[in-house]
Amino acid sequence: MVRQAHQGDIIVGLDVGTTKICTVVGELSEAGVEIHAVGTSASTGLRKGVVVNIESTVESIKNAVNEAKSLTGFEINTVYVGITGGHIKGFNSYGAVGVRGKEVTYMDVDRVIDSAKAVYVPLDREVLHVIPTGYILDGQNGIRDPVGMVGVRLEANVHIVTGAVTSVQNLLKCCEKAGLDVIDIVFEPLASAEAILTDDEKELGVAIVDIGGGTTDIILYKDGWLRHVSVLAIGGNHFTNDIAVGLRIPVSEAERLKKSFGSAATSMASDSEEIEIIQAGHERKVPRRCLLEIIQPRTEELLDLIKNELLSCSGYDIASSGMVFTGGGSLLNGLDRIAEVILGLPVRIGFPENIKRCEKSIHNPIYATGVGLVLYGFTTVSNRKFYHDTFAGIVGKMKGWVKEIFR
Ligand SMILES: Nc1ncnc2c1ncn2[C@@H]1O[C@H](COP(=O)(O)OP(=O)(O)OP(=O)(O)O)[C@@H](O)[C@H]1O
Ligand SMILES: [Mg+2]
């Protein structure tokens, strides 16, 4: 019998990345979330995290979903989909409501979040997330969950994440054409955070740096709350392209060399080391140091950009416990060590962890977003039992627009 993957005990995450699309199927059991399977497919229709070719993206989504279907035997119709790209921006907002000296209810929390949402957002942008970052009850701040407390005035600080309407619509359109119903669109590093961070890190203060193929996404947490989001339009593909140009080889060979022999700094190769380049059926040898001389400046450039971003958002005050690098780009040999030196903070690589059972192959930073989307889905489903608006996705509204525009 074909089982139905729906919103209850089975959740499917769809990570539409610049280099690969993956479908992660998770089930909530008594022990926790089990990941049943991951279907992957090469992605060719995105640039820097944004859909630029609908047809090829739809094809890749279908392939990734079909693989997951055949591995699990589940019918997959609904997904939580990830989004990224340089168009994503975040800003803080604030709302306040009266609670008339009674116990604060879930409805009051919905109302205060609603009032914090009442800010001007340009017509070409859509609100993706309104994330509470702290409640204040009668002047007392630092309240995590005001429900059940007694007070007169409830205030909420929120972080609002927005994206370009066209990019969001194109992503929804691809999912729709691939026969999928999108339950929610999630900014990718928020999903990754669910899979790789510990509660202690979120509490103490931490920065996630998700280095994908096309973008590097940065988010910061402190006191358990989200503090900042940003996206840099540079990722692992830029390293590969530099290698292809520098060594005059095809991109596929440059990618192989980067993964097999690449390192973040030239000091990581000895003078005598040589690597073999395969080009048009011929082999030639070059010193490994030549490869690292191309990679090192890109690494330094990326780390400098990350440092500037941290400096611009008080990131060094926020990320007291250090940084967690994830995404495929974090697998570059020695990157964590160089990052510690340049950024001056402890760095660890984030693998998907917060799951009970999974295949070994999923234990890879490239799956942090996909696994995180599943975990995000389960958390949202349980929160929605209490809150109507605060955890409601934007998708219902957007889907209507997609139908209108692409009719
Ligand atoms: N061992 C490795 N060493 C260096 N780079 C690697 C390694 N493995 C993967 N990468 C790089 O990681 C990148 C892909 O990472 P990932 O799968 O997280 O990206 P994505 O999700 O498809 O893209 P994005 O999130 O930017 O849309 C590629 O640029 C790839 O070359
Ligand atoms: Mg990614």
Digit-by-digit pLDDT tens for the chain (407 residues) are: 455 554 458 999 999 999 999 999 999 988 889 999 999 999 999 999 999 999 999 999 999 999 999 999 999 999 999 999 999 999 999 999 999 878 999 999 999 999 999 999 999 999 999 999 999 999 999 899 999 999 999 999 999 999 999 999 999 999 999 999 999 999 999 999 999 999 999 999 999 999 999 999 999 999 999 999 999 999 999 999 999 999 999 999 999 999 999 999 999 998 899 999 988 888 899 999 999 999 999 999 999 999 999 999 999 999 999 999 999 999 999 999 999 999 999 999 999 987 886 676 889 999 999 999 999 999 988 776 666 655 555 555 555 555 555 44
Question: Which residue shows structure tokens 């980067």?
Answer: 258
Residue 121 has which token pair? 């957002």
Residue 2 DSSP one-character state:
P
Please name the residue whose Cα sits nearest to atom 9 of ligand 1. Answer: 328
Cβ-based neighbours of 243, under 8 Å, separated by 6 or more? 249, 254, 257, 258, 262, 291, 294, 295
3-state secondary structure of 246: helix
Which residues does a 6 A CB cutoff place in the pocket of ligand 1? Answer: 17-20, 49, 84, 212-215, 235-237, 240, 255, 258-259, 262, 327-329, 331-332, 366
- Residue of 16, 19, 256, 291 best suited for mutating to test ligand 1, as the one with most atoms within 8 Å of CB: 19
Long-range contacts of 221-227 (CB under 8 A, 24+ apart): 221/193, 221/197, 221/318, 222/318, 222/319, 222/320, 223/134, 223/142, 224/144, 224/199, 225/131, 225/132, 225/133, 225/134, 225/159, 226/131, 226/133, 226/159, 226/190, 227/133, 227/159, 227/313, 227/318
- Residue of 234, 258, 351 best suited for mutating to test ligand 1, as the one with most atoms within 8 Å of CB: 258
d(CA 181, CA 397): 13
Q: Are 335 and 328 in contact (CB under 8 A)?
A: no
Please name the residue whose Cα sits nearest to atom 21 of ligand 1. Answer: 17
pLDDT in tens, 227-245: 999 999 999 999 999 999 9
d(CA 294, CA 272): 18
pLDDT computed for residue 1 by the predictor: 47
Residue 50 has which token pair? 């944004």
181 to each of 14, 176, 207, 368, how far by Cα in Å? 11, 6, 32, 22
Give, for 183, the enclosing helix (H) or strand (E): strand 181-187
Ligand nearest to the CA of 212: 1
| Strands 140-143, 225-232: pairing kind | unpaired
Question: Which residue shows structure tokens 């009970």?
Answer: 356
d(CA 399, CA 177): 12
For residue 315, report the distance from its CA to the centre of ligand 1, in Å. 24
d(CA 215, CA 137): 39
pLDDT in tens, 132-186: 999 999 999 989 999 999 999 999 999 999 999 999 999 999 999 999 999 999 9
For residue 108, the number of C-alpha atoms closer than 13 Å in the C-beta half-sphere is 25
For residue 358, report the distance from its CA to the centre of ligand 2, in Å. 20
3-state secondary structure of 187: strand
Residue 33 bridge partners (DSSP): 28
**CATH class belonging to 89-162:** alpha beta
For residue 223, report the distance from its CA to the centre of ligand 2, in Å. 26
Q: Which residues of 71-91 are buried (b: 16+ CB within 10 A; e: fewer)?
A: ebebebebbbbbbbbbbbebe
For residue 336, report the distance from its CA to the centre of ligand 2, in Å. 18
For residue 366, report the distance from its CA to the centre of ligand 2, in Å. 7
Residue 129 bridge partners (DSSP): 161
d(CA 77, CA 64): 13
